[in-house]
A and B are shown apart, each in its own frame.
Chain A
């Protein structure tokens, strides 16, 4: 599966469009990690626990998007965008969306 955030796949022509595909995941923060992050908040700097959490969540959202694209018979997803929304206190939704296409 070819993934890009450009409108076309550079160097290849798009043959068919299959529409928008999406993938999302809702994650809540881990109690222990949040405690550590709270301590880290005193000295500042990167909250590694959160970086990892969001990285994993985003990857899962992308995986789900790929599944959907595969089921449509696409071999690429173009113009991918990411978005985050906060669903509830301490939980966030991450989602990825793009256009499923078939390229040469």
Chain B
């Protein structure tokens, strides 16, 4: 092949390949992640979790501890491309919404799983924080990720006979 043909192949072929990779791998990863989130949410649905600052007055508490769960999540090449397109016209960037939703629910689940593992019955005063760690280096290159942290106070209740 002549160099005139190879050059455009690189210029368009590589980004197209990355777009396709991002789309297929990203979509698959998102589907399986949502599936696992739903299953685990259902399993933990009996553990009361609230962002109220105090437990209901009739609860008798045996033990308390701080529990936390966090996730660092990054967006795929395809979604980043979509979001950049969105940047021209403005409006809802759906590609990023699901990403943050996943990160947040995953963090809450991890926090609840930690509480359950340690034998706690409920989590109160749940707080969610997100921070943009690993900000992209110069001109959008480098690794971008957002961290979502969920933390709260886990309670172990005294069981009434």
Contact = CB atoms under 8 A, between A and B. Distances in A.
B109 interface: no
B153 A54 contact: no
A4 B30 CA distance: 33
Interface residues of B, number: 49
A47 B143 CA distance: 10
B133 A3 contact: no
Residue with the greatest number of chain B CB neighbours at <10 A, chosen from A10, A44, A89: A44
A92 B72 CA distance: 14
Contact of B60 (A11, A44, A80, A90): A11
B86 interface: no
B161 to A, nearest CB: 18
B8 interface: no
B145 A50 contact: yes
Contact of A29 (B33, B77, B134, B152): B134
Given A34-B143, A41-B143, A47-B145, A5 B127 contact: yes
A56 B72 CA distance: 13
Interface of B: 18, 21-22, 25-26, 29-30, 33, 53-55, 59-62, 64-66, 68, 70-77, 79, 99, 106, 124-125, 127, 129, 131, 133-135, 137, 142-145, 147, 149, 151-153, 155
Given A2-B64, A44-B26, A45-B74, 15 more contacts: A4-B153, A5-B66, A5-B152, A6-B54, A10-B61, A34-B134, A34-B143, A38-B142, A41-B75, A41-B77, A42-B76, A44-B74, A46-B71, A47-B72, A58-B68
